[in-house]
Structure 1
Amino acid sequence: MSKEIVNLDAPLFVTWYQCLVSSFICFILSTSSKIAPNFVSLPQGSPMKWDVFHKTPFSQHTSKYSVLCCAVIVSGFWLGVGQENEAGSLSIVGTIFGVLGSLSLSLYSIYTKKVLPIVDQQIWLLSYYNNVYSSIIFIPLILLNNELGEILNYDRLWDLKFWLLMTAGGLCGFSIGYVTTLQIKVTSPLTHNISGTAKACAQTVIAAAWYEDSSSRSWLWWFSNGVVLAGSAAYTRVRQIEMEKAFSMPTQSKEVKL
């Protein structure tokens, strides 16, 4: 949320509250499905059951054409980093954290795909588990980050508008989390990461074109972003062809049997 509106220097607390809101939504829906199953349908499960941590095999083949598209995307980013360095706007710390963030997202996507079979491919149930566990994990992190004093001394802590904004943020976070898991479920972790990369790159290009003078950027900078977007588009086409082949094979097998 905007610092001008909330002005609370406690990012972990804000994230914790969003997880708490998402957990509450899942709990209400789960309880409602038990009371009125004809009106609300939700898979049953409890976050207190630890079988979700059991290991399950996960392997997904990536074609050489998909790998080639990924190589194109990486080369575009590499070229863009070089241009930022020449322009004097490169932040080494920012680059390192960006890479670590991408690594975390990749691992999250892979593990999400891995554990979905444990919850019978039920996105609602996995969201319930994730948010309850996150709500617990964030508590010691908030204390370690010394955010408790910031929260208690916040002058708008008992302001209804503040909590409405926080709750709205939680609702948005829940929606984004659901769509993210849905995309990973119906595609693949790699596809999810590529789509996020393309979105971020497109946002960068639009922002640079809208808020900056286009001449302030070198042609290689624009070219590097074009390479990333072209590689992402090529990956999309490759995966589309592969998925069409995968879905057509069962149909062909049935026709042969008939």
Structure 2
Amino acid sequence: MNDGTVYIASVVITYWVVSISMVYLNKVLMSHEGISIPAPLFVTWYQCVITVVICWLAGLCGQRARKADEYAPVAVSENGAQQSARKPSFFAQFPKAEYLVGQARQIFPLSLVFVGMITFNNLCLKWVEVSFYNVARSLTIVFNVFFSRVLLGIPTSFKTILCLGVVIIGFLIGSHGELNFSVLGTCAGVMSSLFVSLNSIFTKKVLPVVDDNHWKLTFYNNVNASFLFLPLIFIFEGDVIKGSQDQLTSGLFWSAMCVAGFFGFSIGIVTV
């Protein structure tokens, strides 16, 4: 097994470990009696704030790493080419976290889709069992093909339509066989799938605004989302939060919230 295969396998395994851990942790945060707060918008908002803070800190580390690389000793290869004598720092990939209003305004439509995606994702997780969670969100590929056709004009082959039919039938069978079926949870899963598809399309459109840098986009997206969530939390979850003083003063709750936020950021690292 060569190094490339090992690297790809390690990335896939890491992604699954982090994503599955985050699913279970979010489930605990939103539906575990005694620990959770039944306020998915508030939980999601805090995770966005954690991501913003990590992006900002990583950007500072990135600045220092790039300066250190500038003064690193230079080695000369056999063919005469100059190259750094040491490997680039992990943090060198992170740009300085700057919030420019002009760029933020251009990214704002994506942020609206992003808020819808993670809101419905967490609502689905709150209302359905973890075992049914992925089934409820399995229509993403269907929406991908639909929006690619409608928004991007990409033609759809007959074989693709047949495959989508299999996916839809599997979704219906999985829904029918779920013992603790939730209509609200399933609808939230379908809406989450819709917004996941839109998010991928809008991401491709706005990436040039941030010089095709995913970390800049992550920073802008989460800053915008942090502001967008505040009025929603105040309107829909204000009373719930006021009545959850025990959880808000619990070190266990805030530790779980911070770990979940870190896992959310970690998924971005593995993906990028």
Shorter-normalised TM range: 0.5 to 0.7
The corresponding residue for 2:258 is 167
Classify the secondary structure of the residue corresponding to 1:38.
helix
The corresponding residue for 1:121 is 212
Matched, 1:131 2:222: yes
Bigger RCO (CA 8 Å, 6+ sep): 1
Shift of 1:79: 5.6
Shift of 1:8: 1.5
Matched, 1:44 2:96: yes
2: distance between equivalents of 1:5 and 1:159?
10
> Unaligned regions of 5+ residues in structure 2, if any?
1-25, 69-90, 108-147
The corresponding residue for 2:196 is 105
CA RMSD across the alignment: 3.3
For 1:184-195, what aligned pairs fall within 5 Å after superposition? none
1: distance between equivalents of 2:37 and 2:174?
35
Matched, 1:158 2:210: no
> Unaligned regions of 5+ residues in structure 1, if any?
183-258
The corresponding residue for 2:72 is none
Q: Deviations over 1:105-149 (max 9, x none)?
A: 111111112111221221111111111111111111110113355
1: distance between equivalents of 2:185 and 2:159?
27
For 1:76-95, what aligned pairs fall within 5 Å after superposition? 76-78=167-169, 80-81=171-172, 84-85=175-176, 92-95=183-186
Contact map agreement 1:52 1:119 (CA 8 A) in 2 = no
Contact map agreement 1:18 1:167 (CA 8 A) in 2 = yes
Contact map agreement 1:123 1:178 (CA 8 A) in 2 = no
Matched, 1:143 2:229: no
Shift of 1:44: 3.4
For 1:197-212, what aligned pairs fall within 5 Å after superposition? none
Q: Deviations over 1:193-251 (max 9, x none)?
A: xxxxxxxxxxxxxxxxxxxxxxxxxxxxxxxxxxxxxxxxxxxxxxxxxxxxxxxxxxx
User: Aligned letter for 2:229?
Assistant: F
Instruction: Look at both structures and tell me which one has the larger radius of gyration over its CA atoms.
Output: 1
User: Aligned letter for 2:267?
Assistant: I
Classify the secondary structure of the residue corresponding to 1:155.
helix
For 1:9-88, what aligned pairs fall within 5 Å after superposition? 9-35=38-64, 37-38=66-67, 40-41=91-92, 42-44=94-96, 46-54=98-106, 62=154, 64-65=156-157, 68-69=159-160, 71-78=162-169, 80-81=171-172, 84-85=175-176
For 1:227-246, what aligned pairs fall within 5 Å after superposition? none
Shift of 1:15: 0.8
Distance 1:69 1:90, change over 3 A: farther
2: distance between equivalents of 1:69 and 1:143?
44
Contact map agreement 2:49 2:226 (CA 8 A) in 1 = yes
2: distance between equivalents of 1:64 and 1:91?
32
